[in-house]
Chains A and B, each alone.
Chain A
Amino acid sequence: MLMSMDKELLQIIGVTLRMSFFSTLISCLLGMPLGVLLGKSSFKGKGTIIKLTGTFMGLPPVVAGLIVYMLFSKNGILGSLDILFTVEVMVIAQCMLIVPVVINLTHSITSVNSACLIETAKGLNFSKGKTAILMLTENKTALFSVVLSAFGRSIAEVGAVSLVGGNIQWKTRVMTTAIMLETNKGNFSFALALGIILLLISFTVNIIASFAVKEDKQ
């Protein structure tokens, strides 16, 4: 089955990659600047925000899925958008799970050497924007691992995406939900094949990442 790569399998892989890519991208775009901000500034309520993001890191996927489901269902506040059971809403549900992870990890990374960096940047009269870019570039190896964590969480997630995506064949079925379905049907070989592909994708992403980190260290 793996060798033949039937159409449905390719479609499931495509949806999975599309969803994981956008979930990771959006989560990093939202979470990293906030994490840097938390890492480099001190303000009232900062501790509470950090504790909150820490708490949301442990948000059960089904709960996130349920919240997003209620928001986007016909009677929900955002029901008029009519995007329930689409890849878009699956990305939204995943972002709810991944953004706190990205914020928290980015904050931990940038707060370690932020004081020294900020002092240096202030001493050289760098603008706030230049300082923020410096913080990101100086920590890019560590931040790369945040991107990997976000991608890992996204590609392996099943609870939220099955709730809001509905695991619809040829539409919102991703590898994790397909594995669950095929296992329930007793179609273990197909489930296992999907599992192997899932692992291969993760492995490939990690290999690419390790090359990028190696390049950076040289």
Chain B
Amino acid sequence: MIKLQNIKKIYGERTVLNIDGLSFTKGETVAIVGPNGSGKSTLLKIIAGVIKSDEGTVETNSRMYYLPQQNIPFRKSVRKNILISMENADDKEIRCNEILAELGLANLADKNAKGLSGGECQRLALGRVLINEGDFLVLDEPSSAADIEGTEMIENAIRKYKDKTGCGVIMTTHSPVQALKLAERVIMLCDGKIVEDGRPEELLINPKTQWGKKFISKWKL
């Protein structure tokens, strides 16, 4: 379980995040949506412990793996990129091969990761996260650079990982289709505040706020 209370993050004079209370349970997939600058990435970074909030607390004893929006492939082969990210395990090579195949990177395994395309890079970055077993996956726009096929691979890999480990998934996305496809819960952020939080079908039919209605009306489903 992850519990956030009275979270505030301020950059300069701008409050980018202002959340009274929010919690995530292991096993649920939560999509965080909202326009650019609404605080989605900042929220994920605070949840993952990458940055600290200026006010408030994050209570958790869960093991989390976080995928940032900007992915840097390490200066190594694709295979070594996965292996270096893996914590000690007996079946390292087997698991690495599984992940590579799942993400369509098997034929690139021995290539230098610096030569990958943006979409391939993103799949590799996800592979580095999925090779470990955590209680929560915190994913910042995991398929923003991927094509249709790549997006499908990424979504399937996340689903498979979740089914296998029973972990929770917290992800941001600009794709309403992805949010509806993967998530059991959707949180809408606007100017750093939560404006909607509920089951996707509820939000689609009956958003609680005017802002939510307006935002959903722009979704092309």
CB contacts (< 8 Å) of A120 on chain B: these are 68, 71-72, 125, 128
Interface residue B178 (Cβ < 8 Å from any Cβ of A) = no
Interface residue B112 (Cβ < 8 Å from any Cβ of A) = yes
Given A123-B66, A123-B68, A124-B128 in contact, is the A138-B75 Cβ separation under 8 Å?
A: yes
Interface residue B171 (Cβ < 8 Å from any Cβ of A) = no
Q: Within the complex, what minimum Cβ distance (angstroms) separates A193 from chain B?
A: 42
Interface residue A122 (Cβ < 8 Å from any Cβ of B) = yes
Interface residue A117 (Cβ < 8 Å from any Cβ of B) = yes
Interface residue A8 (Cβ < 8 Å from any Cβ of B) = no
Proximity string of chain B (69-109) to chain A, C-beta cutoff 8 Å, 1 when within and 0 when not: 01110110000000001010000000000000000000000
* Contact in complex: A124, B129 (CB < 8 Å): yes
* Contact in complex: A116, B63 (CB < 8 Å): no
Closest to B139 in A: A123
CB contacts (< 8 Å) of A140 on chain B: these are 75
* Contact in complex: B75, A137 (CB < 8 Å): yes
Option from B63, B70, B125 in Cβ contact (under 8 Å) with A125: B63
Q: Within the complex, what minimum Cβ distance (angstroms) separates B139 from chain A?
A: 10
Interface residue B161 (Cβ < 8 Å from any Cβ of A) = no
Q: Would you mind naming 26 contact pairs between A and B with Cβ atoms under 8 Å apart?
A: A113-B72, A116-B70, A116-B72, A119-B45, A119-B50, A119-B68, A119-B70, A120-B68, A120-B71, A120-B128, A122-B49, A123-B48, A123-B50, A123-B138, A124-B85, A124-B128, A125-B63, A125-B65, A125-B87, A125-B132, A137-B74, A138-B72, A138-B75, A140-B75, A216-B75, A218-B112
Which of A119, A122, A216, A218 has the most chain B CB within a 10 Å cutoff?
A119
CB contacts (< 8 Å) of B132 on chain A: these are 124-125
Given A122-B48, A124-B128 in contact, is the A134-B74 Cβ separation under 8 Å?
A: yes
Q: Within the complex, what minimum Cβ distance (angstroms) separates B75 from chain A?
A: 6
Option from A113, A123, A134, A218 in Cβ contact (under 8 Å) with B67: A123
CB contacts (< 8 Å) of B70 on chain A: these are 116, 119
CB contacts (< 8 Å) of B50 on chain A: these are 119, 122-123
Q: Within the complex, what minimum Cβ distance (angstroms) separates B54 from chain A?
A: 15
Closest to A216 in B: B75
CB contacts (< 8 Å) of B48 on chain A: these are 122-123
What 4 pairs between A and B have smallest CB-CB spacing? A123-B66, A119-B68, A122-B50, A124-B85
Proximity string of chain B (144-175) to chain A, C-beta cutoff 8 Å, 1 when within and 0 when not: 00000000000000000000000000000000
Chain A positions 101-140 with a Cβ under 8 Å from a chain B Cβ: 113, 116-117, 119-120, 122-125, 134, 137-138, 140
CB contacts (< 8 Å) of B49 on chain A: these are 122
CB contacts (< 8 Å) of B87 on chain A: these are 125
Q: Within the complex, what minimum Cβ distance (angstroms) separates B43 from chain A?
A: 15
Chain A positions 141-188 with a Cβ under 8 Å from a chain B Cβ: none
CB contacts (< 8 Å) of A124 on chain B: these are 65-66, 85, 128-129, 132
CB contacts (< 8 Å) of A125 on chain B: these are 63-65, 87, 132
Option from A117, A122, A216 in Cβ contact (under 8 Å) with B66: A122
- CA–CA, A93 and B41, complex, Å: 49
- CA–CA, A216 and B112, complex, Å: 10
CB contacts (< 8 Å) of B128 on chain A: these are 120, 124
